C-alpha cells in the first residue's frame, strides 16, 4: 500500500510519500488535493472536524495533551467553526471569546490550512476514508517508547534525535531541505507518514471516541 504524511509549510504542504517497497519521496505541493492520488492513507498534521463552541473542546485534544507531558503545548487548541470563518485575528478572537474562550494568534495563523483541509473533505466526501488527522509529537513519542521527545526540533540536538528515531523505525532519508519548507516541516511530514502506515496496518492508536463527529459528519480523532 502507498501512504503519505503531510505537514503545512510556508508555500503549501510538505508531503512524504512511502511507496510499497518502503522508498520515500519527499516534496512540496501547493494544494493538499494534489497529494491524494494513488494513496491508501494520507495522515495530515492539521485538525479535522470542528466544534460549534470552543468549550468543551474536542476530546481527542485533551487526550493528546495528557500523553505529552512537557510537550502538551504542541497540541494547539482547535478553533470553533464560527471563529474559523473569520478573516482577522481580532474578529476570530472576539467571536471565540463571546462563545466561551479567546483564540491565540498562533492558532489563527493556521486558519488557511485548516480551511483548506475542511473544504477538501466537505466537497469530496470520499476522502474521509483516506485522510486522517495525525500529530507529529505523538508519532515521535510512540517511536520513543511512549515518552515525549522533549528536545526542540528546530535546535540541532532535537532535530538529530528525531532523525535517529525515524531511521530506527524504517524512515531514513537524506532529504533535509526543500525550497519553501523548513527542516522541521520535513521531519513532521515523515513522522505522520509513519502514522499513515500504522493506520493501514491497523496498529495505530485513535484518540477521541470512534463516533465523534462535527456538524458536517467529519471525524474528530487524532491518530498516532
What 3 state SS string does 38-89 have?
CCCEEEECCCCCCCCCCCCCCHHHHHHHHCCCCCHHHCCCCCCHHHHCCCCH
Sign of the CA dihedral with 16 first, then 18, 23, and 29 last: negative
Domains of the chain with bracketed CATH: 1-76+123-224 (3.30.420)
**Which pairing describes strands 12-18 and 3-9: parallel, antiparallel, or unpaired?**
antiparallel
The torsion angles phi and psi of 12, rounded to 5 degrees, stand at 150, -115
Q: What is the pLDDT of residues 35-63, one digit of tens each?
A: 999 999 999 999 999 999 999 999 999 99
Confidence of residue 8 (pLDDT cuts 50, 70, 90): very high
Confidence of residue 163 (pLDDT cuts 50, 70, 90): very high
Q: Chain-wide mean pLDDT for the chain?
A: 96
The per-residue pLDDT for 219 is: 97
Contact 181, 164 (CB under 8 A): no
Q: Is 129 exposed, middle or buried (0-12, 13-18, 19+ CB in 10 A)?
A: exposed
Confidence of residue 148 (pLDDT cuts 50, 70, 90): very high
Confidence of residue 111 (pLDDT cuts 50, 70, 90): very high
Confidence of residue 134 (pLDDT cuts 50, 70, 90): very high
Please state whether the predicted TM-score (pTM) of the whole model is above 0.85. Answer: yes
Amino acid at each position: 500500500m502507498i501512504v503519505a504524511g503531510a505537514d503545512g509549510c510556508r508555500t503549501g504542504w510538505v508531503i512524504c510519500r512511502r511507496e510499497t517497497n518502503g522508498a520515500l519521496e519527499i516534496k512540496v505541493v501547493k494544494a493538499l488535493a494534489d497529494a491524494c492520488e494513488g494513496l491508501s492513507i494520507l495522515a495530515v498534521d492539521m485538525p479535522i472536524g470542528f466544534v460549534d463552541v470552543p468549550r468543551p473542546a474536542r476530546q481527542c485534544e485533551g487526550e493528546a495533551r495528557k500523553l505529552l507531558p512537557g510537550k502538551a503545548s504542541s497540541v494547539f487548541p482547535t478553533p470553533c467553526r464560527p471563529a474559523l470563518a473569520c478573516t482577522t485575528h481580532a474578529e476570530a478572537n472576539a467571536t471565540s471569546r463571546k462563545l466561551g474562550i479567546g483564540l491565540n494568534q498562533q492558532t489563527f495563523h493556521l486558519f488557511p490550512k485548516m480551511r483548506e483541509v475542511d473544504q477538501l473533505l466537505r466537497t469530496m466526501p470520499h476522502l474521509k476514508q483516506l485522510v486522517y488527522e495525525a500529530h507529529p509529537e505523538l508519532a515521535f513519542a510512540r517511536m520513543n517508547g511512549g515518552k515525549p521527545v522533549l528536545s526542540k526540533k528546530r535546535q540541532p540536538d532535537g532535530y538529530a534525535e528525531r532523525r535517529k528515531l525515524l531511521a530506527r523505525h524504517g524512515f531514513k532519508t537524506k532529504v533535509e531541505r526543500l525550497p519553501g519548507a523548513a527542516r522541521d516541516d520535513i521531519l513532521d511530514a515523515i513522522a505522520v507518514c509513519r502514522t499513515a502506515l500504522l493506520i493501514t496496518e491497523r496498529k495505530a492508536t485513535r484518540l477521541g471516541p470512534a463516533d465523534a463527529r462535527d456538524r458536517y459528519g467529519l471525524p474528530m480523532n487524532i491518530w498516532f
